[in-house]
Amino acid sequence: GAVVSQHPSWVICKSGTSVKIECRSLDFQATTMFWYRQFPKQSLMLMATSNEGSKATYEQGVEKDKFLINHASLTLSTLTVTSAHPEDSSFYICSATRLWGASEQYFGPGTRLTVT
Amino acid sequence: GQQVMQIPQYQHVQEGEDFTTYCNSSTTLSNIQWYKQRPGGHPVFLIQLVKSGEVKKQKRLTFQFGEAKKNSSLHITATQTTDVGTYFCAGNGGATNKLIFGTGTLLAVQP
Mean pLDDT of B65-69: 96
For an interface test with B, the pick among A104, A106, A111, A112 (most B C-beta atoms closer than 10 Å) comes out as A104
Sign of CA dihedral B44, B50, B52, B58: negative
Yes or no, beta carbons of B1 and A60 under 8 Å apart: yes
Digit-coded pLDDT (tens) for A47-94: 999 988 788 999 999 999 999 999 888 899 999 999 999 999 999 999
Query: What dihedral do alpha carbons B101, B48, B30, B35 form, nearest 10°?
Result: 0
Taking residues B54-75, report their average pLDDT.
Answer: 97
- Under the banding of pLDDT at 50, 70 and 90, the label for residue B80 is very high
Interface of chain A toward chain B, CB-CB under 8 angstroms: 32, 34, 36, 41-46, 49, 60, 93, 95, 97, 101-110
Residues A61, B1: Cα–Cα separation, whole Å? 12
CA–CA dist B14, B110 (Å, integer): 5
DSSP E strand boundaries for A1-116: 4-7, 10-13, 19-25, 32-38, 44-51, 57-58, 67-73, 76-81, 90-97, 106-107, 111-115
Task: With a cut of 60, say whether residue A101 has pLDDT above it.
Answer: no
> What is the pLDDT of chain B when averaged over all its residues?
94
pLDDT at A30 exceeding the cut of 90: no
- Average pLDDT of chain A? 92
- Ordered structural domains, chain B, with CATH: 18-104 (2.60.40.10)
Which of B33, B42, B104 minimises the CB distance to A104?
Answer: B33
Confidence of residue A102 (pLDDT cuts 50, 70, 90): low
A97 and B97 in contact by Cβ < 8 A?
yes
